[in-house]
């Protein structure tokens, strides 16, 4: 486990933000040992910061399990901030059209640093579903269909930095996410325009994604579809890919009109 420097001065802000991000990755709750492992902070420092965040309402601790979750103040902040971003109004119609046309569950994820975070989902009509992705779930770029779709269209130097730094990615998600394999997936995505995740996170759970570009032409978000393997046969994938690309273009146009 990495050893973080002592918390002092402005470092506190970075450490607090990291703890909040870690808890947000685990909506089911995050135990103190997990917070320590993922943050690299000492256990006393982690507990002190988490307790302070709980006092301010940004975290809650389950009295029975000890797990930490986002608190009510985080909900208030999120609600206020959401007014700046027209995702529900603009993105939801795209997700509904995708799910109605394909029967699969559809998702909208945005890039945050070297990760994607899922913001919205729309359930499909097909009764058997994949539960790999949900609101608040984060993956590193290069993992899952949304992260591959975004990474494939970043500048080459930025891509290579992310792809080459694969130790933690392989440790968490397996050898299929090593640098060479990710490079192959990126090349296929650039060729086809859309990405395919052939059950690399959870066996039998497939996904496809298409990047959504912002006004500056950067891949800042992605639409994706997930479902069980038989629903993503070779013949059907081409149609799913076209649907994703068409809706991603529509969404780009609508978001650009809102200065996003």
Pick the last residue of a domain from 61, 78, 95. 78
Pick the last residue of a domain from 59, 78, 97. 78
Residue 132: the pLDDT is 75
CA atoms within a 13 Å half-sphere pointing along the CA-CB vector of 188: 16
Q: What is the mean pLDDT of the chain?
A: 90
Domain of residue 175, CATH code? 3.30.450.40
Same structural domain, 203 and 138 = yes
Domain of residue 27, CATH code? 1.10.10.10
Same structural domain, 123 and 190 = yes
Per residue in 142-168, pLDDT tens?
999 999 999 999 999 999 999 999 999
Residue 117 sits in which domain range? 85-257
Chain-centroid distance of CA 60 in Å reads 23
Close Cβ partners of 159 (under 8 Å, ≥ 6 residues apart) = 151, 152, 186
Same structural domain, 164 and 240 = yes
Same structural domain, 65 and 94 = no
Q: Could you tell me which residues are beta bridge partners of residue 122? A: 106
In a domain, 24, yes or no: yes
Same structural domain, 137 and 68 = no
Instruction: Count structural domains, the chain.
Output: 2
177 touches 170 (CB < 8 A): yes
**How far apart, in whole angstroms, are the C-alpha atoms of residue 228 and residue 149?**
19
φ, ψ of residue 145 to 5 degrees: the values are: -65, -35
Helix (H) or strand (E) holding 76: helix 72-82
Which pLDDT band, with edges at 50, 70 and 90, does 175 fall under? very high
Reply yes or no on whether the pLDDT at 184 is more than 90. Answer: yes
Reply yes or no on whether the pLDDT at 128 is more than 80. Answer: no
For the record, the structure tokens of 21 come out as 């991000």
Same structural domain, 215 and 101 = yes
Same structural domain, 15 and 117 = no
In a domain, 59, yes or no: yes
**How far apart, in whole angstroms, are the C-alpha atoms of residue 40 and residue 171?**
16
pTM score, two decimals? 0.79
**How far apart, in whole angstroms, are the C-alpha atoms of residue 240 and residue 66?**
43
Lowest mean pLDDT among 86-95, 173-182, 184-193, 223-232: 86-95
Same structural domain, 178 and 107 = yes
Q: How many angstroms separate the Cα of 100 from the Cα of each of 94, 127, 134?
A: 10, 13, 18
223 touches 212 (CB < 8 A): yes
């Amino acid at each position: 486990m990495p050893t973080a420097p002592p918390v002092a001065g402005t470092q506190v802000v970075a450490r607090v933000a990291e703890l909040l991000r870690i808890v947000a990755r685990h909506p089911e709750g995050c135990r103190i040992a997990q917070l320590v492992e993922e943050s690299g902070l000492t256990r006393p420092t982690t507990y002190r910061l988490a307790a302070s965040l709980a006092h301010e309402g940004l975290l809650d601790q389950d009295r029975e399990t000890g797990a930490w979750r986002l608190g009510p103040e985080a909900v208030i902040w999120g609600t206020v901030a959401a007014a700046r971003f027209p995702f529900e109004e603009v993105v939801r119609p795209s997700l509904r059209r995708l799910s109605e046309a394909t029967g699969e569950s559809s998702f909208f994820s945005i890039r945050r640093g070297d990760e994607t975070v899922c913001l919205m989902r729309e359930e499909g009509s097909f009764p058997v579903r994949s539960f790999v992705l949900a609101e608040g779930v984060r993956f590193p770029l290069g993992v899952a269909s949304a992260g591959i779709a975004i990474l494939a269209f970043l500048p080459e130097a930025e891509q290579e930095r992310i792809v080459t730094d694969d130790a933690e990615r392989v440790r968490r998600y397996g050898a299929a996410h090593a640098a060479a394999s990710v490079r192959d997936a990126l090349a296929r995505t650039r060729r086809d325009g859309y990405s395919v995740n052939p059950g690399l996170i959870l066996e039998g759970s497939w996904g496809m994604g298409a990047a959504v570009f912002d006004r500056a032409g950067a891949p800042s978000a992605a639409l994706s579809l997930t479902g069980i393997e038989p629903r993503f046969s070779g013949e059907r994938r081409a149609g799913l890919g076209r649907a994703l690309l068409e809706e991603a273009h529509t969404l780009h146009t609508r978001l650009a009109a809102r200065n996003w």
